[in-house]
Every structure is written in C-alpha cells, then in structure tokens.
Amino acid sequence: MTFLSPQTRHHLAAVVALMLISLSFAGCLNYEQSAKINADGSGTLRIHYWTLEPYVTWLSQNKIPFSEDAIRERYASDYTTVKRVRVETKESDSTRHVWVELDFSDFSRLNEAEAFAGDVFEWKHEDGKIKFRHVTAPDTTVRGPGLEGYTVVYSYTMPGSIISSNAMESEEKTLTWMYRLPQLSQSMEMKATIKDPLAGGGLTNEQIILLFLIFVTIGVASLFLVRKRR
C-alpha cells in the first residue's frame, strides 16, 4: 500500500476541488427571451444570452452557438426569419454575448426551429379569448452545484388584455417568467388567457386612432370643399 504525504494529499484535494468547480460551472449560461405576439399568432422575438469566455467552446459543442452562421442556422425555419445577429465579447468581465432578432409567422410552429425543438407552443382562439401556452423541454445538463445564480427569463407581450396567467410578473400586457437554471431540468409551463382583439368585443387602441384620423381627414376635406364653393 502506498501512503501519500500530507503535502501530496493537500495538492490532490486542491486539484479535485478545482475540477469539481470547473465541471459545475461548465454549463453556466444566462438567457433572456422576449417576444411580442400579434393576435394572428405572428410576432417578433428577441434573444440575449451570455457566458464567461472560458465556457464558449464547451457550450458551442453542446448546441449553444456563438458564431453568426451557426446562430442563424439554429434559429431559422419555414416559420421564422432571422433578421439580425450580433456577437460581442465584453473585456470588462470576460463574457461573450449573443443577440438574436427574428420574426415568426406562427407562434405554434416556433418549435420547427432547432433552437426550440422539444418545446411546446400553443396559441388558440376560443370564445373571444386566446389561450397561450409555452412548455419548456426538460434539460438534465443544468443540474449540479453552483448553478443557482444563473437565470432564464421569458417575457411575452400580448395583443390583448390579460384575463389570467401563472406569470411571476405582469405589467399591462407583458407577462414575465423567471427560472433558476436548475429548475429547467424539469419542464416549466407558462400559460395565460387573454382577451382576443379579433373577436369584435370592442375597438383596439390602433383601431380607435385609425378611425380618428379618418374622421379628421373627412372633416378637413369637407371644409376645403365648402370654402371652394364659396
């Protein structure tokens, strides 16, 4: 049997500790997703995610892209159009940031893009209401110590008044859900019921403004004709 000296045991313990720390932080990623959904289910989506520079290579190998071509490929589909991609390294804290902006034609088909594969998206019109639902696919890679400080935030701006939701924050028509990274090892369900502006239960602000402009135009035209006849 070989016995290790106290100095050697201390060195090995330090090495093991460093390895465990590295492993626990290997998947560290902050993620923010905000969307504005129109009544017909189309809309715009903005994504911002970032991590420390030492983890970029590891995350890139695990389907989190940090190059523009890979990002566009991951978010493109028949129902999504990638409008803008920006990748930036911030020297102040050695973090790599990615911003993505895209348009989508059908919220319920967002999972056609590789980035959202496995998630469930629902947008249903029922009895003058719209049922919204987004269920995340479970990710077992986000388990482990040291990940509680990393967050994933989803924010959705709806086209109608909020009737009910399980959102953690609500401000006018915008609903927000925030999760700690380890929570996403299980499926998370976001849901809401909103008033359908297409159901004819009153005019939207945009429709009111449009009618006002039409009346003003008609009034000015009538006044011009009256003066011209004189």
Q: What is the value of pTM for the model shown?
A: 0.74
Q: According to the model, what pLDDT value does residue 62 have? A: 72
- List the beta bridge partners of residue 87: 98
3-class state of residue 125 by DSSP? strand
3-class state of residue 3 by DSSP? coil
Exposure string over 22-61, b if 16+ CB within 10 A, otherwise e = eeebbbbbbbbbbbbbebebebebbbbbbbeeebbeebee
Q: According to the model, what pLDDT value does residue 183 have? A: 92
Q: Which residues of the chain have pLDDT under 70?
A: 1-27, 144-146, 200-208, 224-230
Q: According to the model, what pLDDT value does residue 148 have? A: 78
Q: According to the model, what pLDDT value does residue 201 have? A: 53
Q: According to the model, what pLDDT value does residue 18 have? A: 30
Name the nearest CA neighbour of 125 among 193, 44, 37: 193
Q: According to the model, what pLDDT value does residue 208 have? A: 66
Q: According to the model, what pLDDT value does residue 217 have? A: 80
Cβ atoms of residues 60 and 74 within 8 Å: no
Per-residue pLDDT reduced to its tens digit, 116-159: 999 999 999 999 999 999 999 998 877 766 677 889 999 999 99
Cα separation, 43 vs 16, in Å, equals 48
Cα separation, 147 vs 26, in Å, equals 10
